Amino acid sequence: MTKVKSPADTLRALLATGDLITMPCCFDALSAKLIEQEGFGLTFMSGFATSAARIGEPDLGLMSYGEVLDQARNITDAVSIPVIGDGDTGYGNAMNVRRTVTGFAKAGCAAVMIEDQLAPKRCGHTKGKEVVGRDEAFDRIKAAVDAREAGADILILARTDARHQHGLTEAIDRAAKFKELGADILFVEAPKSVDEMRTLCAELPGPKMANIVEGGETPDLSPEELKQIGYQIAAYPLSLMAAAMKAMVECLQTMKVGQPRDDKLMSWADLRQRIGFDDYYDVSERYASSRRDG
């Protein structure tokens, strides 16, 4: 019997190609399904977008570990492509980090991001960010790697936000140590120029992720430019959320003044198909008790 690849193995295979992976980020099961339907091979559960979608609040550390993990399960259950989960600061000390990593692995995530911000964390492109000291930052990544080595089938995406508070050199030094400790993917958040992006990619080993926030601090380069600089993953954490919110507000404004809204809507047939009604009906035909006319 052929062994089915785990989500982590699928992500390892993607990284092994050396190609740049364009990664739209999701915030719920439906957005993840749309990403897979459009042919993307990887997604990330954006903490910013998930906080907005699940609790209607900004990404300022307000969601609990349980809420985040529940959302991750919903997303991984809905798709077959690998999902990277946002483990924030690990929700406590090093022992909490181990539990967080193990929990995300059990939830079906291919990788989990652990960062060095001071809890409660903040969106990487908003004000007020602070990072913990080096020793605590390194302990978090060591604990995450230890959880993986103890049997959690998951990759570790190690993030540092030290650029904002301490400068690029400190951020690179921290990320290099994260790699030395066993992190699989490195993420230096919010470099402020193309030169900074080139420098960190040249100095850091292994796969690196760029975080492209439209209107944020990091230059919004094309996928080809990011690949040439040395990135292997290009994350777009807010593109789908921003597009969905804009479309919903425009539809609501049209409804408010009593105007036709057909040109703002996905067709009824496409809506049903993308959500999964057609697949459900096809499978349900096998069972007499599940068939419905019409």
pLDDT in tens, 166-211: 999 999 999 999 999 999 999 999 999 999 999 999 999 999 999 9
What is the predicted pLDDT for the residue at 143? 98
Instruction: Quote the radius of gyration of the chain (alpha carbons, Å).
Output: 20
List pLDDT tens digits, range 231-254.
999 999 999 999 999 999 999 999
Average of per-residue pLDDT across 115-124: 81
Q: How confident is the model at residue 138 (pLDDT cuts 50, 70, 90)?
A: very high
Residue 88 to residue 64: CA distance in whole angstroms:
10
Prediction pTM value: 0.94
What is the predicted pLDDT for the residue at 209? 98
Q: How confident is the model at residue 123 (pLDDT cuts 50, 70, 90)?
A: low
Residue 124 has pLDDT above 60, yes or no: no
pLDDT mean across residues, the chain: 94
Average of per-residue pLDDT across 11-40: 98
What is the predicted pLDDT for the residue at 89? 95
Burial 254-263 (b: 16+ CB within 10 A, else e): beeeeeeeee
What is the predicted pLDDT for the residue at 288? 84
Q: How confident is the model at residue 119 (pLDDT cuts 50, 70, 90)?
A: confident
